[in-house]
């Protein structure tokens, strides 16, 4: 069974829209660990739209499983990672205008800057994973850049509109997994995975870890809403 890393960014999203102190992603991380997750994932974005520097600092102190820091390969973020020392860094592409990470890194195009970032992080004792589309040439470049691991972008598989398109996207993931396995890279996968589409990805035995965020946080609203309303009614009474 692959490990589950839970991305808690969207707990912070709900907090940030009101500029208040709750819900705290740090508290959420504790609950996620108690529920049995194997790790916590958070993305410190350049625009700090959800996770804040303070969150990352406290997460590093309190997490008992594994902290996976997603970040862009910028000077600022490399400095923060080296100071924080998460268990692993996942380098992702980042655009200010995007709603969420929209695709994998172009490791071929940004080879030299990524190589420098990977080398600096490794020197600081931090393993590095690269978030890439399921393409053989990107996986080869990931190995050449010196990454320990890759995370395969499952977003196109998750967005498939027809069974045929889904099969096609899944085939790309199978091929990418075979390539990464052949190169001895550790393999994670994520983006867009939910309670319906996770099964076919979880069945791929070479994938060691699934990183899932939005669908879990969204479900938490629904499965927790009944209790939250009842608690408020009790207080009002």
Interaction mask 107-136, ligand PXP, x per CB under 6 A:
------------------------x-----
Q: Which residues, numbered 176-205, are part of the site for ligand PXP (CB under 6 A)?
A: 190-193
Strand pairing class (67-71; 209-212):
unpaired
Helix axes 53-62, 25-34, angle to 10 degrees: 30
**CB of 35 or CB of 232, closer to ligand PXP:** 35
Task: Give the span between the Cα atoms of 16 and 79, in whole angstroms.
Answer: 24
Say how far apart CA 197 and CA 177 lie, in whole Å.
18
Task: Figure out which of the listed residues 142, 186, 197, 211 binds ligand PXP, where binding follows CB under 6 A.
Answer: 211
Cβ contacts of residue 25 below 8 Å, gap of 6+?
Answer: 8, 9, 11, 12, 15, 42, 50, 51, 55, 59
Q: How far is the CB of 231 from ligand PXP (least distance, A)?
A: 27
Catalytic residues: 43, 70, 191
Nearer to ligand PXP, 17 or 232 (CB): 17
**Which CB atom, from 63 or from 92, has the smaller least distance to ligand PXP?**
92
Examine residue 15 and tell whether it contacts ligand PXP (CB under 6 A). Answer: no
Q: Which two tokens stand for residue 91?
A: 């380098």
Should residue 138 be labelled a site residue for ligand PXP when binding is judged by CB under 6 A? no
Distance of CA 141 to the CA centre of its chain: 20
Report the interface residues with ligand PXP, using CB under 6 A: 7, 9, 43, 70, 90, 92, 100-101, 131, 151, 190-193, 211-215
């Amino acid at each position: 069974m692959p490990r589950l890393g839970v991305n808690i960014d969207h707990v912070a999203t709900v907090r940030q829209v009101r500029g208040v102190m709750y819900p705290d992603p740090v508290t959420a991380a504790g609950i996620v660990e108690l529920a049995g997750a194997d790790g916590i994932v958070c993305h410190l974005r350049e625009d700090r739209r959800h996770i804040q520097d303070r969150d990352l600092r406290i997460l590093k102190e309190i997490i008992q499983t594994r902290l996976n820091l997603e970040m862009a390969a910028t000077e600022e973020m490399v400095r923060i990672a080296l100071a924080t020392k998460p268990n692993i860094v996942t380098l992702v592409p980042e655009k200010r205008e995007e709603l969420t990470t929209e695709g994998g890194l172009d490791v071929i195009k940004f080879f030299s800057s990524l190589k420098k970032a990977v080398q600096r992080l490794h020197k600081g004792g931090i393993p590095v994973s690269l978030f890439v589309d399921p393409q053989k040439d990107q996986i080869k470049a990931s190995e050449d850049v010196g990454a320990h691991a890759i995370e395969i972008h499952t977003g196109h598989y998750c967005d498939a509109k027809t069974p045929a398109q889904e099969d096609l996207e899944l085939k790309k993931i199978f091929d990418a997994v075979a390539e990464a396995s052949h190169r001895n890279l550790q393999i994670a996968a994520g983006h867009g995975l939910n309670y319906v589409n996770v099964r076919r990805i979880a069945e791929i035995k070479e994938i060691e870890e699934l990183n899932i965020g939005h669908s879990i946080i969204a479900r938490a609203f629904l499965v927790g809403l009944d209790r939250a309303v009842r608690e408020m009614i009790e207080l009002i009474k």
